[in-house]
Amino acid sequence: MSSECPICGSTLERIHRKPLERMLSSFVSIRRYRCPNSECNWKGRFIEPKKRAKSGIKMEFKEWALVLLIAGVGLWYGLRSHSNPAPEPQPQLEQSSQ
């Protein structure tokens, strides 16, 4: 991973991630940088696929948990919508005018 500023070529400094980037970092590696060059002031992030060497089991668990959560919500919604089917229309009695 290159840590050079894409504008001026200075060595970049790491800065803290924002909350959304921190949540997404479970799935992809997100790092925020800024350029220390006062004339440049570039800020940005580098994103790359998450490496599974150290935390492979944790990543697989998180992915399976997400899949099971989505499947569970879909199953619940499907069962809920089929448990109360629409009532069948009742035949209407004709009224005779006398």
Residue 71 has pLDDT above 80, yes or no: yes
What confidence category does residue 36 fall into, taking pLDDT thresholds of 50, 70 and 90? very high
Residue 15: phi and psi, rounded to 5, are -130, 165
Residue 95 has pLDDT above 60, yes or no: yes
Q: Is the pTM of this model over 0.85?
A: no
**Structural contact between residues 56 and 37, judged by C-beta atoms closer than 8 angstroms:** no
